[in-house]
Structure 1
Amino acid sequence: MMNKKHSFRRFSGIFLILTTIFVVFSCKKIDDNPIVDQSQAADLHFADMQVSQDFTFKTTQDISVTIRTLDNTGAPVPNTRVNVYTDLPDNGGSLILSGTSDNNGLFSTDYKIAAGIDSLAVGTTAIGFSNMQKVRVSGGTLDFTLGGKDPSQGFKSGGEFIFKSTNATFYPLGSYNSNGVPNYLVTPNDVIDAATMQDINATLPERIAAPVSHPQYFSASNEHNLVLNDPCNIWVTFVHEGAGYRNVLGFYKYNTNDPPVTPADIDSIYIIFPNVSFTGSGGGLSSGNKVHLGAFAPGTTIGWVLIADGFRNGTITNGNWILYSDPNLNPVTAADKKQHTILLNDIGRKKLLLSFEDIRRDGSSDNDFNDAIFYVTADPIQAVETQNLPLPDYTATDSDNDGISDNFDDYPTDAGKAFNNFYPSENGVGTLAFEDLWPSRGDYDFNDMVIDYNFNQITNSQNMVVQIKASITLKAFGASFKNGFGIQLPVSPGQIASITGTDLKENYIVQNSNGTEAGQSKATIIVFDNTYKQMPYPGGSSTGVNTTPGSTYVEPKVLNLTINLTSPVSLSSIGTPPYNPFLIIDGDRSREVHLINNPPTDLINSSLLGTSNDASNPGSGRYYVTANNLPFAIDISGPFEYTIEKSEVTQAYLKFFQWGESGGTQYFDWYKPMTGYRNTSKIFSR
């Protein structure tokens, strides 16, 4: 269960502590940062920066994402959901990308992330794979394989260890290493192929309560133990773990005619897997790892034991609680909550599927019963009593018939939509900050219009964008001009079916029937056309709204846009938000302000390009930049506490100057609330 895993599990791998990005709709000063030398701050003038001509003031980096989903033979496992987070969710990581692997087991796209991030978290909720791991971003590439052939294991023997529990003695079947990987694994590993994994995903889907999806698995007549009528050998194969605990799997045995009535009747528990945890997820197991339990006489019954979080500091302990395959032995009072094991007869594969719910069901359990999954193999299989064993369900629930099962589908009842893809992340915002005197330079406080944004590019079952949802928050404007705001997408107007959520108050914007702006060769969306009709002017000595200290604070205005496409477009071709955002100056549709080197729309008065302080050169692809390569607007990939009126951004953000002069190689996190980074007296506070 993914939610539990990241609540409890310490992950191995490469760790980078990321600043948690929170959605904020008001501006607050970070008071725990010291105000630095005021004379130093006063000397940091924006116009004095000596900036390389190829620096674009980006706070992001472009990356190419490639993720493979393979079984333990290296063969593709298609149609597997993959997720990419800013960091491990347990560290505050937030979802960026999601989608499904193709027939070759491949998910790939281009995206962008904050500059300086050198790792992301990659994972899946599909059974048979490790849920989440940190992955290095190197050279603009994130490349990772989920699953694949079993890596070689460098064993460091922990020795054979016998531990006395409250009622029974634990007997490991042999020695194991410090990660709890047995030294007695059978070779070769069992093959857990794509078909097997897909069938198990259908039988025990993640995030779906098994008593609801498969009530037949909870019949009182079902058998949960392994009843042997003839002599046979037994093996147990690790398939999957989706738990937050480092669980221990064991078994006990008894004469079929003399079952234990209480846990006290069990004197010996034999440990199969000391640590039921994937490599990179708190342990060292891979799907297909197999253990021989031994040869058993007829009339023997094998019961299963899961010690919840029982592997600690390299040893086997009593854990949080001990769960048994016999429901009557479990430490749960309610009769309908006692069962913690499912045992199914996979007739076609001549195996038994064994699974556990590791959180007490009288507590916070999600009841999906896929916290630890194994295959049991018997030779001969006919020696096992299978009469009271239910069968697996090989048919996944897909309510909208889009090819993505409901438990992997973010939109299970909408065949046109399947996955969410956020920028900058699900719980994060980016900020746009504009000057509005173009083609003349402004005062470089970058607060003439300040907008927070969050985008969700919703994709279908083929990972193609079908809808864009955007949250646009106008936070402040330190200007007397009645400015507007728009976004241009890299698609034709005809590729837009409809747009909702814009708010036009004036009469200078002409729209097509689909909500795009008329007269444009690319789809252009005017979000609003007058800042003063979005946030009311408080009066007094305030310049604009929410930029003058001591003035009446006005709540930011949030506009929620929905953009529907006429046909699906790939993530890579539509690009990464905020696309080409721009400010419309004081109701004059012929004057726009864009980010550095972003082209104007078709409605610009092109004769203004290259005049006054603007050094645009359309022939060389240079736009909205001064002769010294300084911008008229900036895009920050995180929340930005903007400056007060008439205070240059370099005087409030003391590392901005060095960031600019270094071409972005130093202090790429200049906007974050770190010690010595800010002069808080220059930053607006509510």
Structure 2
Amino acid sequence: MRIHHYVLTATMLACAATGFEARAGTVSPIQSDATPLGLSPLADVQLAGSDGEAMDFYKNDLPDLQTTVNTTLNETQAVENLSSLALDPNDLYLTEASDVRVYFIGEGAGYRNTLGIYTGDSSEALTGDAGLIFPDASTSNSYLSPATDDTRTESAPLASGDFVDLGTFEAGTQLNLFLIANGANGGSNTYYTDSALNADGIEHFVVLATADSPYLLIGVEDLYGGGDQDYNDVVIALDIGKTNVKQLISKVVPIPGYLALLLGPIGLWFARRRNNTPNSRECQSC
């Protein structure tokens, strides 16, 4: 997948010049009406760079995340030994209450995929409070259909940096993500961060933590059986706050050596899971 780096639009520059609130974004004029499996969007998609936090993300974080994605989750290499190279996707617990925001980074899929979330026991799957984050996680600026701007259309409603605010979640909340493969086109195959729920029994999500950052970088594989295992069919940044990210990192042992070189300029941590750690969900000092 090749994710393009965009120039700031006139709207973004105007906002930056006049000043605006940290969390008061502008709703995108293009909202997907897809409701696969009868699920509804949790909130409107908002435009990249349209509030203070989003502008900071767009200018200072998105370019580095794009570089890392193009280096480590690209179309030319599979992500192997997933269980030993990633944070546990089924262990995304919040240590402290946090506002949660999801930024769209990009996609390299042939499908028009749907991304959603639910909280609580991961085994409940879509029977609880499940809702959609990006009903159609498609963009015109993808590896499969490169473009030079951030044009949004009904069939490609997103641009890199677009985001959704999910609200405030309490400490102890488990965040469970799911992807409906080709959901915006009527698909129904669903893959979860809890791999025990996946029909093929394999991991479809990879979760990377960035040291001293509020973001988790998350990539998804949308094909049954793992497909090409590049985990870039949908790529997002999940903002859960620095403290929560630090606690997730504290549960794992970072891998030294060549992987540190692979991870690129923002120092992403691939990490090995600790096995049989009874207090892995308890707060640990950072």
Scaled by the length of structure 2, what TM-score is found?
0.67
**Residue equivalent to 2:97:** 231
**Superposition deviation, residue 253 in structure 1:** 0.3
- Which of the residues 193, 212, 216 maps onto 1:352? 216
Counterparts of 1:184-199 in structure 2, within 5 Å, are 187-188=50-51, 189=54, 190-191=57-58, 192-199=61-68
2:240 alignment partner AA: A
Question: 2:29 maps to what in 1?
Answer: 155
Pick the aligned partner of 2:84 from 219, 222, 230. Answer: 219
Distance in 2 of aligned mates of 1:390 and 1:275: 35
How far apart in 1 are the matches of 2:101 and 2:135?
16
1:207 to 1:391, Cα distance in 2 relative to 1, 3 A: farther
Q: Residue type matched to 2:8 in 1? A: K
* Contact map agreement 1:170 1:268 (CA 8 A) in 2: no
1:134-145 aligned within 5 A: none
User: Any gaps of 5 or more consecutive residues in structure 2?
Assistant: 12-26, 146-154, 264-286
Counterpart selection for 2:196 from 319, 328, 333: 328
Q: Is the 8 A contact 1:248 1:310 kept in 2?
A: yes
The one-letter code of the counterpart of 1:355 is G
Larger Rg: 1
Q: Is the aligned partner of 1:308 residue 2:181?
A: yes
Tell me whether 1:203 sits opposite 2:72 in the alignment. yes
Number of the residue aligned with 1:342? 206
**How far 1:248 sits from its partner (Å)?**
0.8
Q: 1:253 aligns with which of 119, 136, 143?
A: 119
- 1:377 matched to 2:246? The reply is no
Change (3 A) 1:349 1:300: closer
Shift of 1:183: 5.3
Aligned residue for 2:180, secondary structure, equals strand
Higher strand share: 1
Larger helix proportion, structure 1 or 2?
2
Return the offset for 1:184: 7.8
Specify which structure has the bigger relative contact order, considering alpha-carbon pairs within 8 angstroms and separated by 6 or more residues: 2
Structure 1: distance between partners of 2:29 and 2:198: 34
Instruction: Assess if the C-alpha contact under 8 Å between 2:118 and 2:125 holds in 1.
Output: no
Q: Give yes or no for contact 1:202–1:395 (8 Å, CA) kept in 2.
A: no
Question: Residues of 2 paired with 1:346 and 1:394: CA distance?
Answer: 12
Deviation of 1:198 after TM superposition, in Å, equals 2.0
State the SS of the aligned residue for 1:271.
Answer: strand
Q: Residue 39 of structure 2 is aligned with which of 161, 170, 173?
A: 170
- Count of residue pairs the alignment pairs up: 224
Partner SS, residue 209 of structure 2: strand
**For the Cα contact (< 8 Å) 2:95–2:244, is it kept in 1?**
yes
Which residue matches 2:107?
Answer: 241
Report the Cα offset of residue 350 of structure 1.
Answer: 3.4
Unmatched tracts of structure 1, length 5 or more? 1-124, 130-145, 176-181, 398-686
Aligned partners of 1:288 and 1:157: how far apart in 2?
Answer: 15
- 1:192-225 deviations in Å (ceiling 9; x for gaps): 55433222322323221101xxx3x423994204
Amino acid at match of 2:164: V
**Aligned residue identity for 2:108:** G
Q: CA RMSD in A?
A: 3.2
Report deviation, 1:150: 5.4
Question: Is the 1:203–1:395 Cα contact (8 Å) retained in structure 2?
Answer: no
Question: Which segments of structure 1 move beyond 6 Å, counting only runs of 4 or more?
Answer: 151-154
Q: Distance in 1 between matches of 2:69 and 2:192?
A: 22
Aligned residues with identical type, % of pairs? 25
Q: 1:164 to 1:247 in 2, by over 3 A?
A: closer
Per-residue deviation at 1:278?
1.2
Alignment of 1:24-63 (within 5 A): none
- Kindly state the Cα deviation for residue 340 of structure 1 after the two structures are TM-superposed: 0.4
> C-alpha offsets along residues 9-36 of structure 1, whole Å, 9 cap, x if unaligned?
xxxxxxxxxxxxxxxxxxxxxxxxxxxx
